[in-house]
Structure 1
Amino acid sequence: MRLNFLVPLYAGPGPYASVYADTSRDIPDPDKAIEVHRRHARLDLIELGADPATADALADAVGTDADLPGRHGQALFATHGELVLTEELPQPPSTDRSSYALLPDVMPLALQHAPDIPYAAAVLTRAASQGIDIASQDLRVELQTGRWPSSVVAPRSVFRRRMPIHQWPHEAERLAGELAHLIDYGHADTLVLCGDDWARGVLVNRLPAPVRHRVATVAGNGQEVEPGRVMLEPQLAALFHGRISAHDRDRLEDFAAQRARHHAGSEGLPATVAALQRGRAHALLVNQPVEEWPPIRLGTAPDRITLSAPDLQSFGATGRHEQPADAALLHAAVTTGAELIVVPREETPLEDGIGVLLRY
């Protein structure tokens, strides 16, 4: 998973106020509940040492996602009185979480972007137009692309078209070409199809042979879509549960080969820190659930991170800021261009719950 979405967080110096809040709207009187979250966020940040302007800027943004229905949360970050980043979370935090530190608290947000699977979903539905015979039926096509699970709270536009059913074979030829293009350029790992059996078969038969194994069929009619939510949300949740993207799967295969040759330098917190120090980390691998690591010391440069004060002095670094390890590791990863791969512990257990794929 690429971490480009975190880049704006590091454009300026800290300290950063970070808040994770439940802003769900599937409860009685959600506005009253969100006001409580907002008030608690402001009080917590002031108690943690945040300046009033930063605490106000962040707390005032809690609940600004009121147009998003259903169950969800928000991750918000501010510094020096300015809101830097807000993102909606597919799953609300179990409890609200606030911090005020030199680095933003970004690991919970990064974890909610995983597995970051690109996909295209199509729902094909028959509808009678002038009669009940087949010749007079229409076919309704709805197509939406996204990245799972972020698309749950940030759905892209839905392409819709309705046509006489006899036109579908020709239209399916064109759509198959577009879907194959998405696969070829890495914009979709999976083509999710739902709806009419005949229409699905026509489309699949027109896909290039190498693309057909990317097709997944799900049940349902796809019509019960709440405004502001992603199409086929429950079906996608079941389909992608426990999976990782094709991009990350390739990286995992590279990591397995690397670990077989060079185990000591591939996993564990010391090996990961060492790789980041040298700018050699192509990707960090993190087991979920994430372990609690000891704090990391920071120098003035992003790659000046160590596990001890003497190591920091060996770099000639003047700063000695001690920060939570997850925040420091992601800061170093983002600013040195490394990726993040979140893997279930039972699938790929890692020493200290962390590993590193090296660049060279």
Structure 2
Amino acid sequence: MQLSFLDRLYEQPGPWASVYLDTSRDIDDPDKAIALRWRHLRDDLVAGGADAATVDALADAAGADREVAGRHGQALFATRGRLVLVEELPEPPPRDVARFGPLPHALPVAVQYAPDIPYTAIVLERLVPPDADGAEEVVVEVESGRWPMSRALPGPSDLLRVAVEDWRLELPGIVRRLAELAGQADAEAIVVGADPGNERLQGALVNRLSARVPHGRRVVRSVAPTDPTPSPPESGRALLEQELSGLLTGRLRESDHERLERYQAQRARRPDTSEGMSAVVTALQRGQADTVLLNDPPRLPSPLFVGTEPGQIASTPGELEAFRSSTIREEDAGDALLWSTVGTGAQLTVVPQDTLALRDGVGTLLRHA
């Protein structure tokens, strides 16, 4: 995936205060719980040497995402008294974290972005509007986003309405509009859901839409739940969130799947320069890493050593002496690896452990294999 959303973290020097905070709102008195969590993290930052202005900048944003519903979290980054980046996380962090150091602790948010699959969700309903004098309408709700980040912050949406008796006549135009919206989103998956009893409408829409979208794009018919009392979708969350989770969790986006195939072919020929931390570090040093592959969940050997430039990264301090860097410091392996990946223009592909286990949890697709 592209890492341009992290550029601002590496365009200026630190030190950086990095915070991962559970800001879920599916509990009693969430504001009190979030305030307590933030207080502990604030104390950790102060104990780690963070200046008061930087801590205050974070305090203004911590837990301020009250409009975001359900389970979620925040990733916040600040330096020199200025809040630089706030990202809403589709899942709360496994534990609240606060770090203060030369590099931003950004790997967890990068992992949560993956697989970053563009999608379009569509739901059909038949209902009688309050002002329609008993006349039924078919309402088509459509929403696009990128999985999984759109779970907590849904993307743009639209509503299409047509009288039931006009459904067949208007269906070609509706399909044309839905295909246009999915194309604008570059959707790799299109999921169509419907309320029970509307399966015929759903089937007609799926058949026509499948014939209209580009080859290779999937149009999936969401099956109504068999549970007679299913939990209703949570307000403020992504349309068809549960269905999308079942379809997209564990998958890779098309471009990452293609990179993974190229990587596997490369590894078969050159395993020593393709897999493991040593191979990845060497490729980053030489500017040869097209893509860094990272297993999820990340379990990286630590630490790494860095100099002043993104290509100055090594497993031992001695390796960096050849770069004549004015500074050599020890860093968390994940922080160093991501800093070097972004700084050398490489991309990141997060690969589930079950899909492909990598030695040391990392591999690299080379630019000049």
Q: TM-score, normalised by structure 2?
A: 0.90
Q: Deviation per CA, 1:175-199: give whole Å up to 9, x if none.
A: 4445555676771111101013222
- Alpha-carbon distance change, 280 to 85 in structure 1, aligned in 2, over 3 angstroms: same
Q: Deviation per CA, 1:36-60: give whole Å up to 9, x if none.
A: 1221121110101111111221133
Separation in 1, partners of 2:181, 2:313: 39
Separation in 1, partners of 2:348, 2:11: 20
Asked if 1 retains the 8 angstrom alpha-carbon contact of 2:314 and 2:320, the reply is: yes
Asked if 2 retains the 8 angstrom alpha-carbon contact of 1:144 and 1:231, the reply is: yes
- Alpha-carbon distance change, 338 to 178 in structure 1, aligned in 2, over 3 angstroms: farther
Moved more, 264-273 or 279-288: 279-288
Following superposition, the deviation at residue 131 of structure 1 comes to 8.5
Letter in structure 1 aligned against 2:23: T
Q: Secondary structure at the match of 1:144?
A: strand
Following superposition, the deviation at residue 224 of structure 1 comes to 4.1
Separation in 1, partners of 2:243, 2:325: 51
Aligned residue in 2 for 1:124 = 124
Unaligned runs of 5+ in 2: none
Superposed, which structure 2 residues align to 1:244-283 within 5 Å? Answer: 244-283=252-291
Superposed, which structure 2 residues align to 1:136-151 within 5 Å? Answer: 137-151=136-150
Moved more, 168-177 or 60-69: 168-177
Following superposition, the deviation at residue 62 of structure 1 comes to 0.9
Separation in 1, partners of 2:184, 2:136: 35
Asked if 2 retains the 8 angstrom alpha-carbon contact of 1:19 and 1:99, the reply is: yes
Q: Is the aligned partner of 1:330 residue 2:338?
A: yes
Separation in 1, partners of 2:171, 2:109: 38
Q: Is the aligned partner of 1:236 residue 2:260?
A: no
Asked if 2 retains the 8 angstrom alpha-carbon contact of 1:17 and 1:99, the reply is: yes
- Alpha-carbon distance change, 146 to 18 in structure 1, aligned in 2, over 3 angstroms: same
Aligned residue in 1 for 2:8 = 8
Aligned residue in 1 for 2:90 = 90
Aligned residue in 2 for 1:25 = 25
Aligned residue in 1 for 2:323 = 315
Q: Deviation per CA, 1:29-88: give whole Å up to 9, x if none.
A: 111111112211211101011111112211332101011121111111100011111111
Q: Secondary structure at the match of 1:126?
A: strand
Q: Secondary structure at the match of 1:53?
A: helix
Following superposition, the deviation at residue 226 of structure 1 comes to 3.5
Aligned residue in 2 for 1:219 = 223
Separation in 1, partners of 2:73, 2:326: 38
Separation in 1, partners of 2:312, 2:232: 51
Q: TM-score, normalised by structure 1?
A: 0.92
Aligned residue in 2 for 1:43 = 43
Asked if 2 retains the 8 angstrom alpha-carbon contact of 1:296 and 1:308, the reply is: yes
Aligned residue in 2 for 1:193 = 192
Q: Secondary structure at the match of 1:18?
A: strand
Q: Is the aligned partner of 1:343 residue 2:358?
A: no
Separation in 2, partners of 1:247, 1:85: 26
Q: Secondary structure at the match of 1:5?
A: helix
Separation in 1, partners of 2:341, 2:362: 13
- Alpha-carbon distance change, 109 to 213 in structure 1, aligned in 2, over 3 angstroms: closer
Asked if 2 retains the 8 angstrom alpha-carbon contact of 1:204 and 1:212, the reply is: no
Following superposition, the deviation at residue 349 of structure 1 comes to 1.1
Q: Secondary structure at the match of 1:264?
A: helix
Q: Deviation per CA, 1:324-356: give whole Å up to 9, x if none.
A: 110111111112221111112222111111000
Separation in 1, partners of 2:219, 2:40: 46
- Alpha-carbon distance change, 4 to 10 in structure 1, aligned in 2, over 3 angstroms: same
Letter in structure 2 aligned against 1:219: V
- Alpha-carbon distance change, 24 to 99 in structure 1, aligned in 2, over 3 angstroms: same
Superposed, which structure 2 residues align to 1:66-85 within 5 Å? Answer: 66-85=66-85
Q: Deviation per CA, 1:252-300: give whole Å up to 9, x if none.
A: 1111111112111111001101111111111111112211322111111
Letter in structure 1 aligned against 2:309: A
Unaligned runs of 5+ in 1: none
